[in-house]
Amino acid sequence: MAPRVTQQRIAELAGVSQTTVSLVLNGKEDSARIPEATRQRVLDVINETTYVADPAARRLAGQANNLVGIFTYEHAFPSETSDFYTPLLTGIESAAEQLGVDLLMFTSAPVVDGRRKILHERSRLRLADGCLLLGREMDADELQQLSESGYPFVTVGRRDGENIRWVGLDYKSASADLASRIIEAGHRRAVYVHLSLNAESSRDRADGLIERLSSSDVAVETAQLKDVSVEQVLDLVVSAGATVLVVEDPTEAETLHAALRAKGIAVPSQLSMVVLGERSRPQDQAIDFTRLSAPRIALGAAAMALLHETLNGVDEAEEGLPEQQLLPCALIDGSTLAQATAR
Domain limits, the chain: 1-51, 171-294
Low-confidence ranges of the chain (pLDDT < 70): 1-5, 25-32, 47, 50-65, 77-82, 121-122, 281-285, 316, 342-343
**209, 188 in Cβ contact below 8 A?**
no
pTM (2 d.p.): 0.80
CATH of 171-294, one of 3.60.15.10, 3.40.50.720, 3.40.50.2300, 3.40.190.10: 3.40.50.2300
Q: Give the pLDDT of residue 280.
A: 74
Q: Which residues contact 200 (CB under 8 A, 6 or more apart)?
A: 157, 158, 159, 160, 168
Say if residue 295 is exposed, middle or buried (CB neighbours under 10 Å; 0-12, 13-18, 19+): middle
CATH of 1-51, one of 3.30.70.2740, 1.10.10.10, 3.30.1700.10, 1.10.260.40: 1.10.260.40
**127, 64 in Cβ contact below 8 A?**
no
Q: Give the pLDDT of residue 2.
A: 44
**26, 15 in Cβ contact below 8 A?**
no
Q: Edge to edge, what strands does the sheet with 324-327 contain? A: 102-106, 67-72, 130-134, 153-156, 166-169, 324-327
Same fold, 1-51 and 171-294: no
Q: Give the pLDDT of residue 147.
A: 87
C-alpha closest to that of 171 among 1, 9, 326, 338: 326
Residue range 272-297, pLDDT digits in tens: 999 999 987 655 557 999 999 999 99
Q: Give the pLDDT of residue 81.
A: 52
**194, 248 in Cβ contact below 8 A?**
yes
Q: Give the pLDDT of residue 57.
A: 46
